[in-house]
Structure 1
């Protein structure tokens, strides 16, 4: 599973949760495991289906093997199925989505380049836009561009553009 999900989800890293969920979404689709984690199939109805149960183990163990010890301690429940594990793990990051969205939106609109190099500044804006997307608030490309330009450091009445010396 580590080759399919090369990320360990940590409780202190919101950026990491987006990447972790993306790898799992692709893996669940690739191996036709979506019904094991999306709640569309009642687990009780599938307990007599050996094929479904056989495919449950990789989904369940994969979830627990790719999270930090702190997350595992918070969400592990013996004899739970993959759906319960998926909901508990993703809930750690999505339960406070309104609060996260408010803080991210405020930071997004108040961010200025300051002492950051252009790559750091643009990367920070993109990560904030991704956080907002994860919380259900889409930042359009025009909004991202306008906000990026608005926050650039100004020098002598114009926008300062950093260049790299040519070799």
Structure 2
């Protein structure tokens, strides 16, 4: 039996992380998500098809508890690739808007995007949402981002609350200087 045939007969076998990493996302997602253009529907459709074609739906639909997968290096490698795909298929302006927003605005926008993906059947699980949240923080939140990994039973609301406190602390420090 060929390796590809055996992977289809094993319901627990997932895609090879190296194969996923080597996909040229710009050849597969032919639009760049931009806040000023009407590209969202096309962007989400390309991603939805890509996830289904490559057996990646379980990474975004919430059917797998990603916290249970933290020790699985193949799973986390694929998740990291998906995050990279998202970042490289949005416009520079949209990407940089994240740096210029307050924590509340940034988190609200991120949650809205995750909800919109859920609405089209591409649910973003908590782990991917938390990874995206921390990966897009500007350099001022470098220490805070590192500290987020220390929060017991991590969740989006806990991360947001911590980042709000850190944002207030940083504003207080700037006033004192």
TM-score, scaled relative to structure 1:
0.43
Write 1 or 2 for the structure with the bigger share of helix. 2
TM-score, scaled relative to structure 2:
0.41
Q: Which has the larger radius of gyration?
A: 1
